[in-house]
Amino acid sequence: MRARTMSPTPTRSRRSRAGMTLIEVIVACSLLAITFTSLTALSIKMAARNRSNAYVEQRTATLFEQVNRVESMPYDSLTKYLIADSVKVGQGYYVWTYTVDAESLSTSGRQRYRKISLTVTPRLEPTSSQTSTIRRFKSPFSNPLNN
């Protein structure tokens, strides 16, 4: 008979398990939370910038509306009708004020004009006013081109 030799029992190799460990899940959730937090902060800043741009756009539109009003008024009634007033545009009110200077002569001495300072101020943000100077010339009674 043959003698059996005792061989050590074969060691089983440990199989890697399918799936993720708890620490991997925690790290992934932490990275996701950090990413979403930074994206939220970025979107809040962009929304604030868009809102600020909308206010500037509304103020500029109000300014140009008043510039067109001044340019369409008769020269002799500038001091009579140009007063402070306000209008609601979008979410806020805008106040405009006029300063009409005395009548002046052009450098050639032929035309009379008035300098009008127009200031548009939003009530929501009074420090961000916009000012424009308009030079309104008095139309000549006779135009040398028409003679």
Give the CA diameter of the chain: 144
Which residue type occupies 129? S
pTM of the predicted model, to two decimals? 0.62
Burial of 88 (0-12, 13-18, 19+ CB in 10 A): exposed
pLDDT of 53-67, one tens digit each? 888 888 888 889 888
Categorize the per-residue pLDDT at 32 as very low, low, confident or very high, splitting at 50, 70 and 90.
very high
Average confidence (pLDDT) over 117-123 = 89
Nearest to 118 by CA among 77, 82, 75: 82
Q: Which residue has the higher pLDDT, 8 or 65?
A: 65
